[in-house]
Chain A
Amino acid sequence: MSTFVEILKAIGLAVLIFTFLAVVGAMYGVYLERKISGWIQVRYGPMHVGRWGLLQTIADTIKLLQKEHITPRRADVMIFNTAPIIVAVAGLLDWVVIPFGTGFGRYLVVRDINIGVVYFAAMASLTVIGILTAGWASNNKYALLGGLRSASQMISYEIPLALGLLWAAMIAGTLSTVGIVEAQRGGWFLFKVPPLGFLAALLFLAAATAEVNRVPFDLPEAESELVAGYFAEYTGMRFALFQLGEYAEMYAMSAMAAILFLGGWLEPNMPQWVWALLGIGALAMAAFIRFSVLRQVMLVRPILALAVLGAVICGLMVLGIGLGRTPVLPSIVWFFIKLFALVFFLMWMRWTYPRLRLDQLLNLSWKVLLPVGLLNILLTGLLLTVAQ
């Protein structure tokens, strides 16, 4: 009987997270991507459907729903249809071990699996199969080449990714994601064993960016060279499933980076005056934008809004610490602040850096990230052993 209840609970949570990923992750991820690229290139991005173009992606989804499914000639139909499902499901499965915060007297995580980070790495590695078979099943030269390239890139960066996960597990002494966050109550892992923590975070972020095929590591999908790579032949909803999987994976990687190195849902542990200084800085920036000639540039508005938001959060923190009510903000708010900061960072990179060449990309992984990651682990191990 209790098993039945648990299965129902699991189904409910799965539907909830899938909806979250489809709506916030994929639909509004695309919207955010378009808006941010617009701001960076001094244009507006989507503006016409709904206020600030907010309904644009909903319109796009409805459009995708009515698109015909075209299966290319002599393609392997079964494998062709299975590949996007593999990618989407692997993206969803990553989220089982991601803790969103605490509340109602428990951790807000689907399951706190004992071997959480191993599980995460395993699920992330399943995506490669979907991509490789999508490229093969399309019966298209570009798709096959893109699939092979994409797969060789993803497997190259899986090891540095695992080394980043391992570093955090090593410091925390546990493989569970909740345990890793709890171990950061004394301070973020980013600043542990300086500067090795920073190095590990950098490794992880670079590997995660490459793992989700984003600029500057997006050459498998290079629109301008390989016509979108492995999903060149996919139309309509099957294409959307690839997008869903990719955005789910990107959000999962950002969430994982926040959990491993930025303390997950924990509130930053800073004295009151630091918050005050940060708040004043944000206010000064907002005032500068508002009252200078910059005000005329309408595109600066989002920055103004962000600065005001930052100032409000800092003000709340100062007030909260003054009243002795810590933690001031709910844990889930902190988690999403960190998550979206990292997502924004990834999108920012996309419009800032050029694409690497294939040989540069592979060299970076095998000749820089892998040896550095291994030495980082050994050095940290040495320091921790000596410290005892």
Chain B
Amino acid sequence: MTVGLTHYLVVSTLLFCLGLYGVLTRRNAVAILMGIELMLNAGNINLVAFNRYVAPGAVNGHVFALVVITLAACEAAVGLALVMAAYRSLETVHVDEINVMKW
């Protein structure tokens, strides 16, 4: 039995859903960002796997994957800056305690 497209898609689905679970259940904002990183990785696996099995001659999937990696880095940078700012003014990184805008 050889490894095909479906195998990669199954693993990436599982990884994506694990990331989603992390995003939904974590209190710590940094942990939520880690969940998002897992989801982006799952997406990247898809991009590269489709590139390999659907259009192996081109590198479009690789280019998209590189752009996604770039966006992930930017997202981490800005997101973590927000965490730092929240921590500085509210002294917490737990999203359920950041509730000054809520009443």
A/B touching: CB–CB < 8 A = no
List chain A positions with a Cβ less than 8 A from chain B.
none
